[in-house]
Amino acid sequence: MLTVAYNELKTAGFSRVSVALPAGWDALPPFDSYHDLNKWFFDGRRSVLAHGILEASAFSHTMLVGADCIDGTYNPGSITRRMVLLDEHARIGGDARILGSSFSTKPHAEAIRTLRHLASNVCINARDPVSRERLQAAAGRVVRQTADLAFLTMPAGDDAIPDDTRNFLEAQAAAKRPMIGLNINANIDRTVVGYTSAHDNFLRRLLGEGYSVLLVPHDNRGQRSDETLLSELQLRLDPDSAKHVHLLNAHEPSFVRQVLSKLEAIVTGRMHAAILAMSAGTPAISFVYQGKFEGLYQLIGLTEESVLYDPKNFAERPDEIQDQILEALGRREELRVIIHRELPRVMGLARSNFD
């Protein structure tokens, strides 16, 4: 999402776009300057904060990519200290804003306190209507409705698709097999017993219905990542089935979006995989967690009952939930029509983060 923000700001005519990160992140665009404030963000060193405030005073705007971290779910100390820097810039007259953020049902108390003490001229943007209601209640102030920055991810183009993936897609298309994406969320794997193992039978059922399957990891960090779980799932297939399944070896969002545009649908436990798919017009059926998906699907005009599933139910009642997902996949063209109808409005909301 930093790449999206950089591109949108440059397109809008900002002459200098910098980032509060150490230099050397190869996956990011070449920002005009880098400002290493990690000793404040992660260690709370106030001398680094003072230096950061001084550096921020040279800029007209400061923006915090809210995403799914504003509620303090992942690292409350880091996110609150980032909001403190935003607050300080607003108090010296800067344009300070939080870009499209979700907000869970169980925000951290420290995050709520920080939100409530932000300067009144800090603009808070929520990325879906459910999060907007939660944020307004937590912050005690008006929150703007926008959409997730990931909707603005530009596709990489067909020539950027890895050769092995392109060959697989072409072979399955030649065999007239519809292509479905499948993701396993390693975070859900750690909290819901049986969620991952239920995918073995689900994958076999997809293949039995005549689908080919592209395994789409969102995260390859750690010993038990999405990529690890999907690779293990693939290895458990018999040879005849395995020829209709492929593991995507691409993680940069623009590449993933381009590949997802080639699919009939995706079944995923990752929100940004769903967003990248729907930004390309591809229906996404999702396993929900942290109360983050309901607002997204409300925003895009899809009803929860047809496309959102509880991973615990998938683990405990696999046959029943798999039947429902297969039925939803059978309605994928109907879902695609809704997505295409709503997508221009949603992309407009995503761009409004920068208004």
- Domains defined for the chain, CATH in brackets: 2-146 (no CATH), 158-346 (3.40.50.2000)
Q: What is the pLDDT of residue 26?
A: 66
By percentage, how much of the chain surpasses pLDDT 70?
Answer: 99
Its pTM stands at 0.93
Tell me the C-alpha distance between 98 and 63, whole Å. Answer: 6
The radius of gyration computed from the CA coordinates of the chain, to the nearest angstrom, equals 21
| The residue type at 298 | Q
Nearest to 127 by CA among 272, 283, 266, 311: 272
**pLDDT surpasses 80 at 29:** no
Long-range contacts, stretch 160-167, CB < 8 angstroms, 24+ apart: 160/254, 160/255, 160/258, 161/250, 161/255, 161/258, 161/259, 162/248, 162/249, 162/250, 162/255, 164/246, 164/249, 165/214, 165/246, 165/248, 165/249, 165/250, 165/259
Residue closest to 44 by CA, chosen among 80, 73, 20, 15: 80
Q: Write the pLDDT tens digit of every residue in 228-254.
A: 999 999 999 999 999 999 999 888 899
Residue at 80: amino acid letter: T
pLDDT in tens, 117-148: 999 999 999 999 999 999 999 999 999 999 99
- Torsion sign across C-alpha atoms 155, 159, 165, 170: positive
Q: What is the pLDDT of residue 78?
A: 94
- What per-residue confidence (pLDDT) applies to 87? 96
204 burial type by CB count under 10 A (0-12 exposed, 13-18 middle, 19+ buried):
middle
Q: Are 265 and 335 in contact (CB under 8 A)?
A: yes
Taking phi over 0 as left and psi of -120 to 50 as alpha, with beta for the rest, 283 belongs to: beta
Q: Is 92 helix (H, G, I), strand (E, B) or coil?
A: coil
Backbone φ, ψ for residue 190 (5° rounding) = -75, -15
DSSP tag of 256? H
User: 176 falls in which pLDDT band (50, 70, 90)?
Assistant: very high
Residue range 84-88: average pLDDT? Answer: 96
pLDDT tens digit string along 55-77?
999 999 999 998 888 999 888 99
In angstroms, the CA 31 to CA 177 distance is: 43
Give the amino acid at 185. N
